[in-house]
Amino acid sequence: MGGGHNSEIVLPEPELKGHLTLERSLHRRRSLRTFDGKAIPLSEIGQLLWAAQGVTDPAGLRTAPSAGALYPLELYVITSGSDGLPAGIYHYRSRGHSLETVETGDFRESFAAAALTQDWTARSAVIVVITAAYMRTMRKYGERGRRYVAIEAGHSAQNIYLQAVALGRGATEVGAFDDRAIARLLRLPTDLEPVTSVAVGRPGMVSSP
């Protein structure tokens, strides 16, 4: 399956002006489960991650709102590989807009197995897994913080959807998975828990509402 590498890959700068308006992206947004299995460019992987949790202000503010600006979400990406990026599992570093290598190898089938055998996910180009350090928010807001984290994960996932549409790609959120299996697959630190995920790829033939 490959070995772990503690390396960092700096992503291309995100584009701040696209070819599709927000309104058209909203109109075209659909969940798509049929992908052609081909890779997408590294610039698009970076754009998707930036849309979800990119830094947009010198103070560290991000593309998705966060209760108390505490930012409990951490993104992991499982990819088939891309130009200059081996297939593998990576952790997105919002500050610096870069990827930290967790493990190299193609783990899409492993994700599909952990996602209750949703085999179609293995043909996506990338799977963005949204994880959360709940205590970052709960230290300030108590048990209510769990709700805030869920809300933030929804913001982040929707941003991925809309960015995927703007790039001409398809996406589907995947919330049905074995939490422990995903945590093991991603080598998550003990303070992080998987919340949801979004599979993104080049469209195939059939979409679903």
The structure's pTM equals: 0.92
Q: What percent of the chain has pLDDT over 70?
A: 95
Two tokens at 121? 């996910």
Q: Where residue 133 falls among pLDDT bands split at 50, 70, 90? A: very high
Q: Where residue 1 falls among pLDDT bands split at 50, 70, 90? A: very low
- Sequence-distant (≥ 6) Cβ neighbours of residue 88 within 8 angstroms: 2, 78, 79, 81, 101, 102, 103, 104, 105, 106, 107
In the chain, the domains with their CATH numbers are 20-201 (3.40.109.10)
**pLDDT (tens digit per residue) in 87-99:** 999 999 999 999 9
In this structure, are residues 188 and 131 in contact, taking their beta carbons and an 8 Å threshold? yes
Q: What mean pLDDT do residues 53-57 have?
A: 97
DSSP line for 113-160 = HHTTT-GGGGGSSEEEEEEE-HHHHHHHHTTHHHHHHHHHHHHHHHHH
Q: Which of 93, 126, 133 is nearest to 202 (CA)?
A: 126
Q: Where residue 54 falls among pLDDT bands split at 50, 70, 90? A: very high
**pLDDT (tens digit per residue) in 96-121:** 999 999 999 999 999 999 999 999 99
In this structure, are residues 116 and 186 in contact, taking their beta carbons and an 8 Å threshold? no
